[in-house]
Amino acid sequence: MTDPVVIAVDGPAASGKGTLARRLAAELGYAYLDTGLLYRAVGLALIRAGLSPADQKAAIHAAAVFDAAAEDFSDPALRNEETGAAAGIVAVIPAVRDALIGVQRRFAANPPGGAPGAVLDGRDIGTVICPDADYKLFVEADIEERARRRVKELQDRGDAVIPARVLKEMKERDERDRTRAVAPLAPAADASVVNTTNLNADAAFALAMSLIR
């Protein structure tokens, strides 16, 4: 048995990393893990318990008892902006990050369904979770373009949106992700940067495939 192929796709919010990672996984027949959902699940558990995401003790407990097998990843509440903001807050806590390392590394080492590879998207896959990944992509785009995409995504879902607020919150989350002490968002030294500011999903996918092949 050869080890599964691991593709790490990191980048900031609304950079296009999720769309790209899902498509790579589908094209290559690999399993796909959106690791942001793990942090979102911890943030949502606190919101639902009526607790603040800044409550470190509660966040560490929620991460410790998190059970990926029992989680309903299709819950739409996982994908709303309030949960995304809470995820960014719990994600700065080192013990929360530590508690979620195992589930991510197991997925990469043993992709579900016996798939020959795994694509993981997140912030620290190429730097911390899978530093030995076979391929590392860092997907980015200008913040104004990322905020525009997020506004459209929320509008398409029927959510009420204030564009200026989306931009402001995205700047705050970027700042928190890039400056936190543990596993800050940054390209791995050996990552290929894919800037999608002027690329649509097809062009980003074609570029990523050319980097992988």
Interface with ligand CDP by CB under 6 A: which residues? 13-14, 35-36, 39-40, 84, 87-88, 91, 122-124, 173, 177
Q: How far is the CB of 1 from ligand CDP (least distance, A)?
A: 27
Minimal CB distance residue for ligand CDP: 36
Q: How far is the CB of 61 from ligand CDP (least distance, A)?
A: 18
When the beta carbons of 36 and 111 are compared against ligand CDP, the nearer one is 36
Q: How many CA atoms lie within 13 A of 146 on its CB side?
A: 22
Q: How far is the CB of 18 from ligand CDP (least distance, A)?
A: 6
Q: How far is the CB of 38 from ligand CDP (least distance, A)?
A: 7
DSSP-derived letter for residue 15 is S
Q: How far is the CB of 200 from ligand CDP (least distance, A)?
A: 18
When the beta carbons of 156 and 210 are compared against ligand CDP, the nearer one is 156
Sequence-ordered list of residues with C-beta below 8 angstroms from that of 99, at least 6 positions apart, any chain: 60, 63, 64, 66
Say how far apart CA 191 and CA 174 lie, in whole Å.
Answer: 19
Residues 55, 46 contacting (CB under 8 angstroms): yes
When the beta carbons of 53 and 117 are compared against ligand CDP, the nearer one is 53
Q: How far is the CB of 107 from ligand CDP (least distance, A)?
A: 12
When the beta carbons of 191 and 210 are compared against ligand CDP, the nearer one is 191
When the beta carbons of 16 and 111 are compared against ligand CDP, the nearer one is 16
When the beta carbons of 117 and 124 are compared against ligand CDP, the nearer one is 124
- Long-range contacts of residues 20-25, Cβ cutoff 8 Å, at least 24 apart: 20/121, 20/137, 20/139, 20/194, 20/196, 20/201, 20/204, 20/205, 20/208, 21/119, 21/120, 21/121, 22/119, 23/201, 23/205, 24/119, 24/205, 24/208, 24/209, 24/212, 25/118, 25/119
Torsion of CA 66, 68, 174, 122, to 10 degrees: 140
